[in-house]
Amino acid sequence: MSDQEGVIRVNISVPKALKAHMENAGERTNWSAVAVEAFKAKLLQIESEAKGAEQMEDVIKRLKAAQEADANNDHLAGRAAGERWVKTRARPKQLRSLQMAVEDAGGSEELLYQGGGEPYPPATLWSAINVDKELDVGEMNAFWEVVLDPVPGRIENPDFAAGFIDGALDLWEKVEDQV
């Protein structure tokens, strides 16, 4: 390293045993050059990890955006299913029951999460819609198979279920006074 490269003297500390080993190595070694190479290697590692972290941040951002888009799509599909149920199969008594359950819970999503923990929308909604019936899993499954034909399992998705509630109740509110 010459003065032309713009070198700066840096003092480093090494353990005594290492210093003794360096002195006993026998051949004349430029320990400053060895240290410079070690510093360069470490800087490359740090930079590559930082780039990797930046790339991971980009991946995370993209995945979060995709997750939000999926949730929005599920909600919209649920809304359409809820509206379709009101138009084709729902009974005013069921809609009033659902409306009261949502109001009591403070919203559609709150209804789904009211028990704490992970929601199970098929049972929660079936019970809210059929408030005067005991939960019967077979009857509940049959209900969702008819209402959500051909994909009854979508009701297990909380975003879809919240959309189902919102679509059903929005349409119900438009016609409720006329029924």
Q: Which of 114, 68, 69, 94 is nearest to 171 (CA)?
A: 94
In a domain, 54, yes or no: no
Residue 105's pLDDT band (boundaries 50, 70, 90)? Answer: very high
Tell me how many domains the chain contains.
1
In a domain, 113, yes or no: yes
CB burial of residue 1 (10 Å; 0-12, 13-18, 19+): exposed
For residues 162, 164, 166 and 171, what is the CA-based torsion angle, rounded to 10 degrees? 180
What's the CA gap between 129 and 118, in Å, rounded?
20
In a domain, 57, yes or no: no
Residue 115's pLDDT band (boundaries 50, 70, 90)? Answer: low
pTM above the 0.95 mark? no
Residue 154 is part of which domain span? 71-178
- What pLDDT score was predicted for residue 122? 92
Q: Residues 70-88: pLDDT tens digits?
A: 889 999 999 999 999 999 9
In a domain, 63, yes or no: no
Which of 117 and 55 is assigned the larger pLDDT? 55
- What pLDDT score was predicted for residue 4? 56
Tell me the HSE value of 34 on the side-chain side, using a 13 A CA sphere.
Answer: 6
In a domain, 75, yes or no: yes
In a domain, 28, yes or no: no
In a domain, 55, yes or no: no
In a domain, 56, yes or no: no
